[in-house]
Every structure is written in C-alpha cells, then in structure tokens.
Chain A
Amino acid sequence: MTDRLPAPVKGADGAAFVAERASATPSAAVRRFAVVSSPVETPLPVSHSLEGMEAWLVRAITGPESEASRAPSYLTDGPRMNARERLEVYRSGYRARLVECLEDDYRAFSAVVGHEAFHALAEGYIEKFPSSSPSLNYFGRRFPEYVRGVEVPGFPGKGAFFSELAALEWAIVEVIHAETPPPLDGNALRSLKPEDFATAHFEPSEAVRLLRFEHPVNPFFQARWANGDESATVPGIAPSSTAVYRHGMTVWRMDLTPAMTRVLSALLDRVPIAEALGRLGVDETDPSAIAEAERSVMVWFREWVSSGFFARLVT
C-alpha cells in the first residue's frame, strides 16, 4: 500500500470548448463544396404542405441519394446552380458540421486513428444516432458505445481500447459542462465524530467521473496527445482507473491504484464513510498494515476533498 497519490495531470482538455459549437454559418466542408452532376428525378408524389416539404428537405439532407435526387420536384434552379446542386450545399454541410463536432470532442481519438478513418467512423455514428436535440453539446455522448461495436479502420481488434479512449475524452467534455460545487466546509469535516463515520456520507461533485478501463488509457492519452509522443503505441490489456475532474476552470486526470479505486468508488456512490474505508482490503490481523492503510487513506481523502470531489457531507 502507498499513501502517495499519482500526480494528477492536466492539459489537452479544452478542445470541447475551443471551437464555437453552435454557429449560424455552414461548416468548413461547405466551403470545399463539390458540385454534383447528373441529377436523377424519381417520379414520386410531391407534397405541397409545409409539413410535407419540411419532412422531405430533412430527408433529402440527412438521407440517401434517392431522396436528394427528387430536388427538382421541390426546388427551383438558381442563376448558376440547378436544384440538386443547391441542395448539396446543405447536404454536405449537415455531415460536415456533425463530423466537426465529433472531432472537437474526440481530438485524441481522431489524431490516433487518422483523419480519414475518423471521418468514416463519424459518418457511421451520424447515420446511427442522428441528432434530435437543439444542442450539439451532447451529440457525441454515445460515440464510445458506438465504437465498441464497430471495427476501427487500421486497428483490427482494438475496438475495446478505442471505446475506452473515447470514454476518457467524453468524461472530459462532461466535466467541462458540469457545475462545480463550492469548497467543502472544512469545519463540518473536522467536527465529525468517530461514531458519525458509520452513517455519514459524501454527496459527490457533478464534475467528477471515475472511469475503470481494461487498458492503460490515461497514460496513453497523456503520452500521445498531451505530450505529443508519436512513439506511444496502442497498449494491450492492463486494467487501470482514472478520475477525471474539474477544479476551478482546469480539468485534471488522476490515475488511481486498485485500492484507491475501491475507496473512491464507494465514496462517490454515497456509501457511509466507515464502510467505504473498509473496502481498502487490508489484512485486519496485521496491525502494521492497518496503520499504514489508515495513513494512506487519510492522504488520499484530503487530496480528494481539496480537489473538489465532494459537494457536501451528509450526516
């Protein structure tokens, strides 16, 4: 057992908020807009109601070419582009905007797999989970789940790792948007009597996530993305745990040992403090081990409290 906490790391955490997510302008891909040719009209009934026209335009933008090819039935030609070409401005913009949004949230992932592979994955995701919310802030929330079920181009058999990498990046997005509590009242903590430990528990901060991985995801993220070490390769199986949290305006990532993970997990699950500390897994017949564990856990405890892991103490 060690009382030393791995030093938390920060950096590479601002991507989700550097780019303007909502925008009144078409995305970058529209600027690279390529005009399509040979529009083919499918002879299907044309709706003249507002509801029907809106439904068609959304299908034509988000759906297959068979819908887009009906553009001449619904749209006029312009001075220099025909109806199908005019539709393409929106059709290409739709995908580009959402891909850019995912790329903002998953910058490390995108950098590791490469631009083209990421775009292929993103397009599949957009198809499977189209946006239904007015906000783009959480559009990418199911990307980790999506990645676990598909082949990542260029990395056969590594879907589980990339799903975990995505989960780490998504946790960063979540804590950026989470509310941080005011500092925990130190007096309340100090005035806690030993007998209170059996019932008192913590209310966790919204801005903390505890992630358990099958791979050493955070060390890889730190090396490859935050430190720019191109030699860092996709790791094999080796379980790890990382706490992602925001303290003030800074997002931190702290790797945890298995013992730390057990205790912190229990505390974040609102388990009474005594019971949570009991999950250290110390040999209770060994007084020196118990003493060392008590020392360690108090060091961790102070660090977690001062890092804002807990919003309040409930007695």
Chain B
Amino acid sequence: MNRFSLPNLGIGIGLRTTHYAHVLEQTPEIDWFEILSDNYLHTRGRPLHYLDRVAERYPIVMHGVSLSIGSTDPLDLGYLAELKALRDRTNARWVSDHLCFTGATGKNTHDLLPLPYTEETLRHVVSRVKTVQDFLEAPLALENPSSYLEFRESRLTEWEFIARLAEEADCALLLDVNNVYVSSRNHGFDPARYLDAIPWDRVVQFHVAGHTDFGTHVVDTHIGPVVDPVWRLLGDAHRRAGGASVLLEWDAEIPSFEETHREALRAREFVREEAA
C-alpha cells in the first residue's frame, strides 16, 4: 500500500473513443478506466456526455498531458481549475501528469519535452508540484516520461531527479515501465538502476504499453502488444511496490475492446509470477 492510501484498483485500460459504444452497451467487466483529461477539458458537449455515462459505471483515474509542470511559464490556473472540476465531476480517484514541460515563452508544442535535470530545475518543479497539490487538495501523481534527447547541462540522472522530487514535493508517482525501457534504450542505461532508485511507497500506479523500435531509437508509440522485457519490468516493479493499479495504454491502431482488455489482463501472469 502506498503512503497516500490510494487504492489498488486492479487492471485497467485507457478509455478511448473507439470503445465508447462497446463499453456503454456491453458494460464489460473491467476494473477501471484511465481517461486522457485533456480530451474532456475545453468542451461542454459530446465528450462529456459519454464520459459521464462511463463514470457512472466504472472507477475513473485522470491522466493529463498539458500540465507542463516543468515549464518556466506561469502555471495555468484556469487549466488547474478545469482539471479540478473534471476530477469532482467524474469522482476520479487521482490525477496524474508527466514530469516534463510542453512549452515555454507562451508557445505550446503539445509534446512531453524532457527537462534538464539540475538543482535549479528540481527547486522549480518541487515548488510547482506543491502549488498544484495545494490547488487540487490532493496528491498529484507524476509519470516518468519517455525521452529521445538529454541536455548537456543535466547533473542528475532521471531516476535521481524523480526520487528527490517525490520526497521534496511529497507527491505520488506513476511509474511507466515502458517509458523506463524506451528511455533506457535511447540513452543507454540499465533499467534495473532506475528501479533501484524509486521510492516505492510513493508509487500509486503503473503504465505498460507497446513501443516501436526503429533501430536508431525506440519510440513510445503505444501501439501493439507489450513486449516481454517490459512485462518483466512491471513484475519487478509491482513486487517492489507491494502492488499498485496497472494500466495498459494502447493509443494508435487501436484494436477491439476485447483484444485491448485481453492484453491488459496479461499483467496478471507477470504480477503473479513475480509475487509468487
């Protein structure tokens, strides 16, 4: 159990528009759904209609891509207010986003840009996380991003940065084991060293996903089945954390709901195997 007493919801999948009809008509047995928060902000129409109906039936967790927690631009309080309202509307169990910045100088790239891991960045992000948590009146879970570049100026490894951030900001962690794997391939580190540094009592959720290997680099595409090395990382991480909610992300070339759910349930093999 994590230090925030957030529940282990079991095995869920990301709620995607292509599955709405199946979910609402068939009411499949699934533990929970994660939504991409940003798809339900800045709208008062159809997306919210469907979300309300799903939230009536299933536990929801909110996962965002636009908080831009590392940006030196001011925090967008309007965005935070919308996030909080959506959390209350859906009774979301927690809210997460990424350790990254999405834009600066008023321009938004809509991508999860890696930060330079320095003492200055750490102080900046710790301060912002505290502000967000005060605003939300709840712990924020931050996810380790997949990345394709590193700053020369970095003085800390990503895992050192995340461990210190979590402790100093007193925030929760969403550990994406596929991102650990992808970044380890792109930057040449040992994923086990990453896991060794994680403060496990802060991990409230895991992400697993497929990726695409281009030879020169590996991209976190969220396409296709999860590869065994990533499942094994999940098993290891799950054991170290003493269990936490697991979520499969499948965001492109999305198959049927049943196939997506079947892939998510494969987590049971690795989690049980490691726990035994």
Query: Which residues does A use to contact B, with CB under 8 Å?
Result: 17-26, 28, 30-31, 33, 35, 48-51, 53-55, 57-59, 61-62, 73-76, 78-81, 83, 85-87, 89-90, 93-94, 97-98, 130-138, 175-180, 206-207, 246, 249
Q: Are A17 and B111 in contact (CB under 8 A)?
A: no
Q: Are B16 and A55 in contact (CB under 8 A)?
A: no
Picked from B46, B68, B115, the residue with its CB within 8 Å of the CB of A17 is: B46
Within 219-271 of B, Cβ neighbours of A (below 8 Å) are at: 219-222, 249, 251-252
Chain B contact-residue range equals 35 or more
State in angstroms the CA–CA spacing of A97 and B102 once bound together: 13
State in angstroms the CA–CA spacing of A51 and B105 once bound together: 9
Of chain A, the residue at the smallest CB distance from B186 is A78
Q: Are B17 and A58 in contact (CB under 8 A)?
A: no
Q: Are B41 and A24 in contact (CB under 8 A)?
A: no
Given contacts A74-B152, A176-B45, contact A55 B104 (CB under 8 A): yes
* Sample of 17 A–B contacts (CB below 8 Å): A18-B17, A20-B251, A23-B65, A24-B36, A24-B251, A30-B219, A33-B214, A54-B105, A73-B152, A89-B149, A97-B111, A133-B108, A134-B102, A137-B41, A175-B45, A246-B45, A246-B46
- Shortest C-beta distance, A245 to chain B (Å), equals 12
Query: Which residues does B use to contact A, with CB under 8 Å?
Result: 16-18, 36-39, 41-47, 49, 63-68, 70-72, 76, 79, 98, 101-113, 115-116, 118, 120-121, 124, 148-153, 186-188, 212, 214-217, 219-222, 249, 251-252
> Which of B103, B112, B188 has most chain A Cβ within 10 Å?
B103
Q: Are B152 and A76 in contact (CB under 8 A)?
A: yes
- Shortest C-beta distance, A5 to chain B (Å), equals 24
State in angstroms the CA–CA spacing of A31 and B214 once bound together: 8
Chain A residues, CB < 8 A from B186: 78-79
> Which of B104, B111, B217 has most chain A Cβ within 10 Å?
B111
> Which of B63, B113, B216 has most chain A Cβ within 10 Å?
B216
A-B CB proximity, top 8 nearest: A22-B38, A134-B66, A179-B44, A135-B42, A54-B104, A86-B149, A89-B148, A177-B43
State in angstroms the CA–CA spacing of A177 and B214 once bound together: 37
- Shortest C-beta distance, A122 to chain B (Å), equals 14
- Shortest C-beta distance, B165 to chain A (Å), equals 14
Of chain A, the residue at the smallest CB distance from B253 is A28
Q: Are B220 and A85 in contact (CB under 8 A)?
A: no
Given contacts A20-B39, A75-B150, A130-B107, contact A80 B215 (CB under 8 A): yes
- Shortest C-beta distance, A257 to chain B (Å), equals 28
Q: Are B120 and A61 in contact (CB under 8 A)?
A: no
Chain B residues, CB < 8 A from A175: 45
Picked from A17, A25, A55, A176, the residue with its CB within 8 Å of the CB of B221 is: A25
